[in-house]
């Protein structure tokens, strides 16, 4: 009986946790689209963030991990490869746009 109650409690907690949406982060004004711009498509990305070990500028003889570049493939909702994300940062569609 104790095990059944534990399982029911765990299932209830999982259900409660998955139904609560996290708060949306505030978007800085400079990142908001202009009033004449509209959403064209939503893509997902699969890739990596590349870091490299560099000498620290402020401490001679010590090192730090520093961000170098992203490298990701972009996919449409159907799973078709539609572009890439890379250093710059840049996002490029397969047609070059």
CA distance 24 to 50: 27
* Of residues 79, 22, 69, the one with CA closest to residue 45: 79
CA distance 63 to 68: 15
pLDDT at 22 (0 to 100) = 67
CA distance 94 to 41: 14
pLDDT in tens, 38-82: 888 889 999 999 999 999 988 889 999 999 999 999 999 999 999
Q: In the chain, where are the structural domains located?
A: 41-97
C-beta atoms surrounding 64 within 10 Å: 13
pLDDT at 75 (0 to 100) = 97
Instruction: Indicate the pTM of the whole model.
Output: 0.57
- What confidence category does residue 36 fall into, taking pLDDT thresholds of 50, 70 and 90? very high
CA distance 72 to 83: 9
Q: Is 89 helix (H, G, I), strand (E, B) or coil?
A: coil
- Rg value, the chain, Cα: 22
């Amino acid at each position: 009986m104790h095990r059944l109650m534990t399982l029911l409690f765990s299932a209830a907690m999982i259900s409660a946790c998955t139904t609560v949406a996290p708060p949306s982060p505030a978007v800085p004004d400079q990142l908001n689209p202009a009033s004449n711009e509209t959403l064209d498509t939503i893509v997902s990305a699969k890739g990596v963030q590349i870091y490299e070990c560099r000498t620290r500028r402020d401490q001679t003889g010590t090192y730090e991990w520093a961000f170098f570049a992203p490298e990701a493939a972009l996919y449409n909702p159907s799973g078709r490869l539609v572009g890439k994300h890379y250093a710059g940062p840049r996002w490029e569609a397969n047609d070059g746009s």
